[in-house]
Amino acid sequence: MKMPKRGPSREELVATMEKYRRTDGDAAGARLFSLVYAVPPDVDAVAKDAYIRFFSQNALNPMAFPSLRRFESEVVSMVLGLFHGPEGSVGTMSSGGSESLLLAVKTARDWARAERPKVTAPEMLLPVTAHPALLKAAHMVGIKPVLVPMRDDFTADVDKAKELITDDTILVVASSPQYPHGVMDPVADLAALAASRGILCHVDACIGGFLLPWVERLGHDVPAWDFRVPGVTSISADLHKYGYAAKGASVVLYRTRALRRFQHFVHADWPGGLFGSPSILGTRPGGAIAAAWAVMTYLGEDGYLDLARRAMDATAKLAKGIAEVPGLRLLGKPVMSLIAFSADEGDLYVIGDRMQARGWRMDRQQAPASLHLTVSPGHDAVADVFLADLRECTREVIETKAQAEGASAMYGMLGQLPDRGVVRDALLDFMEGFDTMADGAGDDEKA
């Protein structure tokens, strides 16, 4: 596409955007089980209004926009209260979970340079189920990731972690919960392991941070995972997930101000002036910061409790219904609203294809093969329809012995290849093809 010499009318522009959007997943109809968190229209309206009001503001310079500085400070304060932050705990807003995790890993590296100068080849210990953004962060800041295998219940194997930790380990990571199966890593044990070596422990609560506190208050059994756990030195949590804020908004929190100091970047000798940045981004969109503050303030504790109740009720209904479908099996014992299920009969990825043809989009996972649901409050209205479709699609696949074709067949094959280097090359080829995939915009089959 070339830039037009003369732009279209606004009406024509909107029509083209709507045409492109028709190929997207149906978030408004709660048929997406990842990426978007379906909430009541009033919450959505609050986020959009706040975002637009501060659309042009830039938190790069908080002195120029004191409103954004106040919003961020109050958001961090509210979250620290929610996570039982001790006196002196601090935090920063970021653009999302990946940036929060990158900041936490970068902070650990710089802390180790100051406090563990003899460590020249730093390592970080993390469960194999930890989010890949942590591996990206390790790659970017020069830390060797050491993966801890999972037990049969999908939690990190603490005994193996004790064997893998070395004098070069500077950071231990736990997930609350881990995304693939929705189970909690043994945070207390991993944090104790880190503390016994005098090193840092980060809890990745990017997906669980804004649901687990309310789930606990609703009476569900939630193991301690936040700053109540001795040895936990930092936590990340996404506001744009179960905090229901606009994308992208997250927080990274530290037990002490002294530790957060290693997060910042400053440059005192630039001819353009004194430079300081708390995060990876320079320009920080004001709309996302304002929307996060607005939604948290608007919902309050009662609002979040109500949404958590709806999400957990929908999760219970979906989990029970999936377990009752002949040929399907739930994986793990999730603590909140994440569901993973596998198939004892029929090709699971074909089942996923059949469901997608009906408008339902679920994440496909591997080792073991499974389909994944991230359940939002809005899914309570469509749970019965989803389960009816799932029963029918599963029955069809089992009875016809349908085999995977196209992308699903390729995905299944790649998941089983022992040479992971070949798989990585295939993923890079796929990423390189993103620009040509846009040629099919507007064509449902190609998209």
The token pair at 6 is 């003369």
What is the 3 state secondary structure string of 67-105?
A: HHHHHHHHHHHHHHHHCCCCCCCEEEEECCHHHHHHHHH
State which H helix or E strand residue 252 sits in: strand 250-254
The token pair at 409 is 């067949």
Q: What share of the chain is helix, strand, coil (3-state, %, to 5)?
A: 45, 15, 40
pLDDT at 411: 59
Q: Tell me the CA end-to-end span of the chain in Å, nearest whole number.
A: 17
The token pair at 208 is 């669980």
Per-residue pLDDT, averaged over 56-68, amounts to 83
pLDDT at 438: 54
Rounded CA-CA distance 302/422 in Å is 50
pLDDT digits (tens, 9 = 90+) for 86-142: 999 999 999 999 999 999 999 999 999 999 999 999 999 999 999 999 999 999 999
For residue 255, pLDDT beyond 80: yes
Q: Is the dihedral of CA 25, 28, 32, 34 positive or negative?
A: positive
Average pLDDT, the chain: 91
Which amino acid makes up residue 90?
V
pLDDT digits (tens, 9 = 90+) for 305-354: 999 999 999 999 999 999 999 999 999 999 999 999 999 999 999 999 99
Rounded CA-CA distance 28/385 in Å is 15
Structure confidence at residue 62 as a pLDDT band (50, 70, 90) = confident
pLDDT at 33: 82
* Cβ atoms of residues 116 and 129 within 8 Å: no
Per-residue pLDDT, averaged over 368-372, amounts to 95
* Cβ atoms of residues 143 and 109 within 8 Å: yes
Residues 49-296, CATH architecture: 3-Layer(aba) Sandwich (3.40)
Closest to 319 (Cα-Cα) out of 340, 348, 345: 340
* Cβ atoms of residues 135 and 145 within 8 Å: yes
Q: Provide the whole-model pTM.
A: 0.89
Q: DSSP strand E in 183-228: where?
A: 200-204
Give the list of residues 6+ apart from residue 337 with CB closer than 8 angstroms, or none.
182, 211, 242, 311, 312, 314, 315, 374, 375, 376
Rounded CA-CA distance 275/255 in Å is 26
DSSP secondary structure of 319-380:
HHHHHTSTTEEE-S--SSSEEEEEESSS-HHHHHHHHHHTT-B-EEETTTTEEEEE--GGGG
* Cβ atoms of residues 28 and 36 within 8 Å: no
Q: How wide is the angle at C-alpha 100 spanned by C-alphas 142 and 168, nearest 5°?
A: 35
Half-sphere exposure of 144 (CA within 13 A, CB side): 12
Q: DSSP strand E in 144-193: where?
A: 144-148, 169-175
State which H helix or E strand residue 138 sits in: helix 132-141
Rounded CA-CA distance 66/156 in Å is 43
pLDDT at 446: 31
